[in-house]
Amino acid sequence: MREIEEHLDSCPHCAETAIIMSSLEQEPDMAVPPAGLIYWKAELAARRERAERALRPARVMEVAASLILTVLVVVALAVAGGPMAVIGGLGCILMFGIGGSVIYFTLGR
Ligand SMILES: [Zn+2]
């Protein structure tokens, strides 16, 4: 018994298991969800994580493309139309950017 206690002091894995076991012993009627449900939720979370990871480069490219397009529009308007055209162009970009973001987040990515 003393060896077990010494091991629990030095091994975090077994100490955690001992804590879980003692809490299960204190509440024997505790409802444990079915294993299938736990597995299904874990599978769903893993699938979402994989999808999120797969889309990350596309999101980075979206932001980069938006920034490049904004710079190109500002440069083109500055060359062609002067400061008022730049202000108008930035207003349009802001309006379309906010509108696009609203649609993007409303429709749920
Ligand atoms: Zn151990």
Give, as residue ranges, everything with CB less than 5 Å from ion ligand 1.
Answer: 11, 14
pLDDT digits (tens, 9 = 90+) for 36-82: 999 999 999 999 999 999 999 998 998 899 889 888 888 888 888 88
Instruction: Kindly give the distance from the C-alpha atom of residue 43 to the centroid of ligand 1, in angstroms, as a whole number.
Output: 28
Residue with tokens 């409303």: 106
**Dist. CA 25 → ligand 1 center (Å):** 20
Nearest alpha carbon to residue 77 among 93, 65, 63, 66: 93
This prediction has a pTM of: 0.44
Q: What is the distance in A from the centroid of ligand 1 to the CA of 86?
A: 67
pLDDT digits over 15-42, tens only? Answer: 999 998 888 888 877 777 889 999 999 9
Q: Return the pLDDT at 8.
A: 92
pLDDT at 93 over 90: no
Domain ranges of the chain: 55-109
Nearest to 90 by CA among 109, 107, 77: 77
What pLDDT does 109 receive?
Answer: 57
Contact indicator for 8, 15 with CB cutoff of 8 Å: yes
